[in-house]
Structure 1
């Protein structure tokens, strides 16, 4: 795995160095750009794609189409993008598709870490542990105490997605058994937590934030290293009795390996411009999405680090999904 990661990072660096030598394809884009979001509508990557869609269309001079292809922790969307060879199809979704999926799915027909090259990490976000008000808990201590007394379950946006991994990492620390109930995305999972079918959920903070403000979901804790600007009274998990706990994630864009570096860098540059727009920044801030829009090289470095970190977690917890 270390050799694979090293080769992958070197490949990304080589692509960057070659960018100046590769003549920009002045005909690109020559047709509509298709953003294949590997999660359902309402997921963070879907939200970001639709927020920057107008700016990208104007900058590229071609329509930008957002196409949701959810399922299997992003694997279905990845397969969809790899089937395309038109250089106008882009993968969008959490970086867990490259950092976690290679460790959980051993029988894939493709290699996520080797078959994709990152364009950029769009924005970072945390997961938020929430419960239906009927559960009657207000903090992590009460939730774990309740789970010790009677069987409890939690919903996530699917197997191997950020919420699943963040919760399993927490449960491994506490030794408390809480049953995982996976869904096809964070929005349908949230709906069942709202309805009481599942008592709690570990879901993307941009998805559950509006429900917390309405009072229909009770916030327990956030997974990141700091509290959310929109919810300053909600503690981190580290503050709630698990010192050192941090689980942060990022939405990303990626293209198939072999895409000319000039195209990758052109797209990243236009995305960075779009995300620097005050209107876009304001919209993302309301959803606790922290803009990154980093370079392909920086994105590759961060993803490599995430792959190593989450690989250790998957091995320690003996998590495998096929």
Structure 2
């Protein structure tokens, strides 16, 4: 799917106007191809997002965008590579963990996301869905049952330090419930654990959760975002169910190394934001399970700060370390 000529012209004209008024650098950056680094394999969600972004971004900036996969350590190998880049032509699509709590979870990693990366723009967000067995009670009655169960209930996640684990630990703190954690290799195994009666609750991505909820195999309790989500139609937010101060989403974003000049970051951010907010990109992201945002660097920084505050507190209080 190609962007209409009128939209491409509008973006180019906007960039040119900002450059002429001094809002962007006076130079003509970029003058050579840019490298877009992804920390996950081809076909993964971050990879699909990066490749969907690359084509219109090439047109907006007038240079090729070379997508490179540097896989490993949950995206931290790629994040470290980007953090250390000094060429001014390397940037990345990352998931929230790589840009926020990576160093807290694993002090041995060799980059600090809060000081070695620059936020460019938030691409898309999605809540997790709190799920339970199909016969579980709904709404506030579910939390009443969870409170009465104490630590006799168990919840599953794809492993220690994952967003499913941290999100549940945050919920335990906010809702005053005490289910025990059982780590699994991945979300499919978590789903099987709920089906088999080994688990009483978990947090799943909406793309996985909604299919099973609609098939009657799981009970959807609520979404972790501050408000209802179009990715999980019909489900209330946990706030609606009386869980105060609970707002957590998974997200992906564009990040640049600290060495990239601010003016170039601003130019990149303007182009990325315009593309992500376009109807074409919104549709692509929705198919991938994301609600498009297209924020400014400041908007992304605010999201990073909020995540670090909420999840960082849980990590430090419970001394959680990635395995």
Determine the C-alpha separation between the residues in 1 that align with 2:215 and 2:48.
Answer: 20
Q: Is residue 80 from structure 1 mapped to residue 81 from structure 2 by the alignment?
A: yes
Is contact 2:206–2:231 with CA below 8 Å preserved after alignment? no
Determine the C-alpha separation between the residues in 1 that align with 2:76 and 2:279.
Answer: 33
For the pair shown, which has the larger CA radius of gyration, 1 or 2?
Answer: 2
Is contact 2:125–2:293 with CA below 8 Å preserved after alignment? yes
Distance of aligned partners of 1:126 and 1:40 in 2 relative to their CA distance in 1, 3 Å threshold: farther
Q: Is residue 154 from structure 1 mapped to residue 156 from structure 2 by the alignment?
A: yes
Is contact 1:120–1:268 with CA below 8 Å preserved after alignment? yes
Give 1:7-86 correspondences, 5 Å limit: 20=24, 23-27=27-31, 30-31=32-33, 33-38=35-40, 41-43=43-45, 45-60=46-61, 61-65=63-67, 67=69, 69-72=71-74, 74-82=75-83, 84-86=85-87
Unaligned runs of 5+ in 1: 1-17, 184-188
Distance of aligned partners of 1:211 and 1:318 in 2 relative to their CA distance in 1, 3 Å threshold: same
Kindly state the Cα deviation for residue 308 of structure 1 after the two structures are TM-superposed: 3.2
Kindly state the Cα deviation for residue 147 of structure 1 after the two structures are TM-superposed: 5.9
Determine the C-alpha separation between the residues in 1 that align with 2:147 and 2:275.
Answer: 46
Distance of aligned partners of 1:93 and 1:179 in 2 relative to their CA distance in 1, 3 Å threshold: same
Is contact 1:39–1:71 with CA below 8 Å preserved after alignment? no
Determine the C-alpha separation between the residues in 2 that align with 1:263 and 1:47.
Answer: 24
Determine the C-alpha separation between the residues in 2 that align with 1:112 and 1:238.
Answer: 29
Unaligned runs of 5+ in 2: 1-21
1:105 corresponding residue in structure 2: 106
Q: What is the DSSP-based 3-state SS (H/G/I as helix, E as strand, rest coil) of the residue aligned with 2:37?
A: strand
2:240 corresponding residue in structure 1: 239
Kindly state the Cα deviation for residue 258 of structure 1 after the two structures are TM-superposed: 0.7
Determine the C-alpha separation between the residues in 1 that align with 2:41 and 2:265.
Answer: 22
Is contact 1:205–1:288 with CA below 8 Å preserved after alignment? yes
Kindly state the Cα deviation for residue 219 of structure 1 after the two structures are TM-superposed: 2.2
Structure 1 range deviating more: 172-181 or 117-126: 172-181
Distance of aligned partners of 1:206 and 1:251 in 2 relative to their CA distance in 1, 3 Å threshold: farther
Q: Is residue 264 from structure 1 mapped to residue 265 from structure 2 by the alignment?
A: yes
| Superposition TM-score, scaled by structure 2 size | 0.74
Is contact 2:24–2:266 with CA below 8 Å preserved after alignment? no
Q: Is residue 191 from structure 1 mapped to residue 191 from structure 2 by the alignment?
A: no
| Superposition TM-score, scaled by structure 1 size | 0.75
Q: What is the DSSP-based 3-state SS (H/G/I as helix, E as strand, rest coil) of the residue aligned with 1:239?
A: coil
Is contact 2:120–2:253 with CA below 8 Å preserved after alignment? yes
Count the aligned residue pairs. 293
Determine the C-alpha separation between the residues in 2 that align with 1:214 and 1:279.
Answer: 30
Aligned-CA RMSD value? 3.4
Is contact 2:167–2:248 with CA below 8 Å preserved after alignment? yes
Determine the C-alpha separation between the residues in 2 that align with 1:146 and 1:38.
Answer: 41
Q: What is the DSSP-based 3-state SS (H/G/I as helix, E as strand, rest coil) of the residue aligned with 1:221?
A: strand
The structure 1 segments of at least 4 consecutive aligned residues displaced by more than 6 Å after TM superposition are: none
Kindly state the Cα deviation for residue 254 of structure 1 after the two structures are TM-superposed: 0.8
